[in-house]
Amino acid sequence: MTDTVVSSATKEVVIGFDRPFCVIGERINPTGRKLLAAEMAQGDYSRVRSDALAQVEAGAHMLDVNAGIPMADEPRILAEAIQLVQSLTDTPLSIDSSIVAALEAGLAVYKGKALVNSVTGEEERLEVVLPLVKKYGAAVVAISNDETGISEDPDVRFEVAKKIVQRAADYGIPYKDIVVDPLVMPIGALGNAGKAAFSLIRRLREELKVNTTCGASNISFGLPNRHGLNQSFLAMAIGAGMTSAIMNPLHPEEMTGIWGADVLMGTDAHCAHWIKRFREPAAEGDAAGGRGRRERSGRRGGGGASGGAAPETAGA
C-alpha cells in the first residue's frame, strides 16, 4: 500500500490507502478573496493567521498556502506566509503556486517535507517543477492535464497522470511522493462527472498505485445546496479510493461526510475519532441520577432482569 509522507519540522502526516482521509485546508488563498489579497500584498497577515488556526481547529491535517496576487511580489509573500504559518502550527503545508520562483522561495524557507502544488503534464512545466521537487525532497501534486488542456475523457486524464509518474521517476522521484489530482468536473455541466471521477480514482489506485487529491467543491459548482452535494461526493470518492482533498474544513457537512466515511472504510479504528467528536458529555449528576433510577426501577419491577435492563439502556 502506498504512503505519501509529508511533514513540518516536528509533525508527520501520512496520506495513504489505509489511512484516515487527509483534509488539506484551502482557505489561505487570495484568489476570489479581495480583502485577503489586499492585506497580503501590504504585508498584513492577520487574516492568514486566523485562517490557519481556524482550519486546524476544524480538523485540517494539512494547510495549502497560496499567494497568487496579480502585480505583487509573489515569491516574497509566499515565503513570508509560510514562515508565519509554520510559527503558528506544526501542521504540514502544501506550497501552492503556478510561478516557479515562488515555489522555490517557499521551499527554501520551509521546515520539513512539503507538498508542492503542483505540476501538470506540460513538458515545460515538468522540466522546471520536477527538479525543484527532487532538490528539496518534497512530494508533489500531479494535475491530469497537459498542453491540450483538460480532457473530458477520463482515459486521457489517466494517461497524462501516467506520463507524469513516469517522468518523475526519471528525476528519481518515487511514485509514493506523487499525489494525483484527476480533475473532478462539475456535475451540473457533465452528468457523468461523478461516475467518471470514481472510475478514474480506482484506476489511479489500482494501476498506478498513487494517492489522489482534488478540489472537492468543483463537483457542485453552479448547483444549490453545494455543501450537501460535496458531502455525498466526498464520502463516495473515499469509497472509490481517494485519499485526500483540498477543501474548506470549516463546513461541517463536508467534514461529517469524511469522518463518517473513515468509520465505514475502517480507517477510524474502533470509531474512536467519531466518538470523540460526537459523543455528548454526560451532564453533572447524570451518573448518580441514572444509578438511582435503575435502583428504583429494579425495586418496582421485582428485581427481574428485564426490569433492570431497559432503564440502563435508556440512560447510556
Coil vs helix vs strand at 280: coil
Residue 218 has pLDDT above 90, yes or no: yes
pLDDT of residue 281: 80
Distances (CA, A) of 227 to 84, 223, 230: 30, 10, 5
Sorting pLDDT into bands at 50, 70 and 90, what band is 280?
A: confident
Report yes or no: 36 and 30 within 8 Å, Cβ to Cβ. yes
Sorting pLDDT into bands at 50, 70 and 90, what band is 312?
A: very low
Per-residue pLDDT tens digits for 92-112: 999 999 999 999 999 999 999
Closest CA to 118 of 83, 68, 43: 68
User: What is the rounded average pLDDT of the residues 255-284?
Assistant: 93
Between CA 205 and CA 203 the distance in angstroms is 5
User: What is the rounded average pLDDT of the residues 264-289?
Assistant: 83
Kindly list the strands in the beta sheet with 62-66, ordered across the sheet, starting from the edge strand earlier in the chain.
211-212, 178-181, 139-143, 115-119, 93-96, 62-66, 22-28, 244-247
Between CA 14 and CA 113 the distance in angstroms is 11
- Cβ neighbour number for residue 190 with a 10 Å cutoff: 12
For the chain, helix, strand, coil in percent to 5 are 55, 15, 30
Between CA 54 and CA 249 the distance in angstroms is 9
To which H or E segment does residue 94 belong?
A: strand 93-96
pLDDT of residue 283: 64
pLDDT of residue 284: 60
Per-residue pLDDT tens digits for 60-104: 999 999 999 999 999 999 999 999 999 999 999 999 999 999 999
Residue 301 has pLDDT above 50, yes or no: no
Report yes or no: 290 and 314 within 8 Å, Cβ to Cβ. no
pLDDT of residue 120: 98
Distances (CA, A) of 20 to 61, 260, 295: 10, 11, 43
pLDDT of residue 286: 54
Average pLDDT, the chain: 91
Report yes or no: 227 and 254 within 8 Å, Cβ to Cβ. yes
- The pTM assigned to this predicted structure is 0.89
Closest CA to 267 of 41, 6, 58, 17: 17
Residue 302 has pLDDT above 90, yes or no: no
Per-residue pLDDT tens digits for 137-153: 999 999 999 999 999 99
Between CA 92 and CA 110 the distance in angstroms is 10
Cell numbers representing residue 18 in the block: 489505509
User: What is the rounded average pLDDT of the residues 168-189?
Assistant: 98
